[in-house]
Structure 1
């Protein structure tokens, strides 16, 4: 069986704990190259995975042996690196948020189209078993008409996770562009679009920097979203949840209330209007906390889509639609207005 030859650009924590380890566990993959501007960091993973070391991404994507790359770099580099790799004939798995503007995202989509290669954005929440089951149940009418929702994604901040700790690029606007809203909130805009199978058309938001004194990006955001059919709800994204992570979503419908990742054992619970309760023990989402490094599903689906010549599991267009919601939230904060998408 032919193996897919992979190069990973950026050897920080997301590469270490997600991309590299999950590629290594996939029998259809051979990691052949790693790249980081910190040569020692790249060399460490090169030794571990018997891969070639690069310090310039341009040299890595010029390697004709490589079939596909993961882009695991600071946000401002996502678009230029992805476009360059696509233009060089590589399939691309890009970390979120996919870009720092709508124009950049559209350029990535166009590059994928022109090259005929796959572009996937690493939105893992739609692959969580409880979320997949929830979408199916909502689609089957288990909750009836959906009225509202609330969702949150928060933890104590990236300094405990990032390879650079408190000095991480996550806190610097020129490299990150956006803070907790882009790091965590965009995951939830993607999840809600997936669960409800609708686009959001209006966004209002309060976006603040309150807990990370040295950051020049947001660390706490609360958004109000309205969908095409009039479903309204709230989305919170924060780096100020200091004791433990919150990744819960609650969907309110005419027949009951669905709670996702709101219970430590039962990852999907439905409380029906008639008093009955259904509980599904489907496993928890992977986290950045100790013992939380289970498979995200992203890598396996990316590899499968290439090997089986399937559509990208989370296309550039999907990534852009999820990004547009957080871009609208930023605009809402800046203008103190409700923004139409």
Structure 2
């Protein structure tokens, strides 16, 4: 299978290097509007370099394209690639509007190609173990969740992030990781309430999700955080709590109610980072899906639902009231806890 990468920034490098290490996959080309950046990556990996996607589509041989460009460009390039008969792997968010996301899905279906969106948290060992603990009944019936994600403001190095029309802001670009994870874990969201504060140096969002099951989650996202990048997640249920923190050396912990057969209330699940990054695991999985070997862990419909939750949160922060999500807007059930 032949693959090309569009966008040679940080994630473009990650995608290109990962593909170069997948057996049976040949990276044939990379493309970036910054020709120098494309040539440097191409030289490192021994592939062709392009500065124009149209030219790469016409000249290079590839079956799959990874789209790792700024968010406001996802829709246009995905649609163009699909119409050219290429399978599409696209970084999150799927798009900046639900209408664009739906068109991406529809065009890919109409042209007989697959569309995968990089919700990489579903491949992170920490979060996978959280989900496994929930599904295995380690915490009983789920009730409450907390998740947070904090880091420096990306606009410091990439100014387009400061333009909400291009990035979607901290909820659509950053918090969407946790929105997707929580929907995957707890099922469909019924109602959203959000508050956002931002200035030129920071953007902070606090979102409360009420799930159709009655469970509730509080989610934080913070651009401009003065400390190191960090993530935390906690799922609580009738029988205990499962926690993960990127700052802990032993990152996954399950706290359960004591029983007569246990020596204490604490049960630890060690982290298992392995030698592959979540991005490598994700891309290997997408290739296996295209080959028909496995079913997708995360679908384009899941990505659309995560975007719709994020957009509802933005609307709630604008109007100052909760926003109800219509059941028909989340018609594809995303593998939540049942």
TM-score (norm 1): 0.88
Are the aligned partners of 1:149 and 1:252 in contact in 2 as well (CA < 8 Å)? yes
Partner of 1:207: 196
Give the stretch that moved more between structures: 105-114 or 238-247. 238-247
CA distance in 1 between partners of 2:102 and 2:286 (Å): 20
In the other structure, the counterpart of 1:142 is 138
The equivalences for 1:280-295 within 5 A come to: 280-283=269-272, 294-295=277-278
**Matching residue of 1:23:** 19
Match of 1:272 among 256, 260, 263: 256
What do the CA deviations read for 1:129-176 (whole angstroms, capped 9, x no partner)? Answer: 2322322221222211111110011112225xxxxx534322223422
- Between the aligned partners of 1:285 and 1:330, the Cα distance in structure 2 is 36
Number of the residue aligned with 2:84: 88
- In structure 2, the residue matched to 1:97 is 93
Aligned length: 319
Q: TM-score, normalised by structure 2?
A: 0.88
Deviation at 1:87, TM superposition (A): 1.3
**Within 2, Cα distance between the matches of 1:174 and 1:259?**
34
Matched with 2:216 is 232
Q: CA RMSD in A?
A: 2.0
Contact 1:128 1:285 in 2 (8 A): no
Question: Offset of 1:310 from its aligned partner?
Answer: 3.9
CA displacement at 1:64 relative to structure 2:
6.4
Contact 2:3 2:62 in 1 (8 A): yes
The answer on whether the counterparts of 1:250 and 1:257 sit within 8 Å (CA) in structure 2 is yes
Q: Which residue of 2 aligns with 1:7?
A: 4
1:74 aligns with 2:70: yes
Alignment of 1:82-231 (within 5 A): 82-158=78-154, 166-176=157-167, 178-196=168-186, 198-210=187-199, 212-213=200-201, 219-231=203-215
Counterpart CA distance in 2 for 1:131 and 1:323 is: 20
SS in structure 2 opposite 1:62? Answer: helix
Separation in structure 1 between the aligned mates of residue 27 and residue 233 of structure 2, nearest angstrom: 35
Q: 1:14 and 1:242 mapped to 2: Cα distance?
A: 23
CA distance in 1, matches of 2:45, 2:250: 36
2:237 aligned partner: 253
Unaligned runs of 5+ in 1: 160-164, 287-292
Tell me if structure 1 keeps the 8 A contact 2:138–2:256. Answer: no
**What's the secondary structure of 2:119's corresponding residue?**
coil
Whether the aligned pair in 1 keeps the contact of 2:124 and 2:278 (CA below 8 Å) is no
Counterparts of 1:131 and 1:320 in 2: how far apart (Å)?
20
Unpaired runs of at least 5, structure 2: 259-263, 326-338
Q: Distance in 1 between matches of 2:53 and 2:130?
A: 39
Number of the residue aligned with 2:328: none
Structure 1 residues 313 and 90: CA distance shift in structure 2, 3 A: farther
Match of 1:290 in 2: none
Residue matched to 1:319 = 303
| CA-CA distance at 1:262 after TM superposition | 5.6
SS in 1 for 2:29: strand
- CA displacement 1:284-341 (0-9 Å, x = unmatched): 599xxxxxx9342211111111223544432210100111111001101111110111
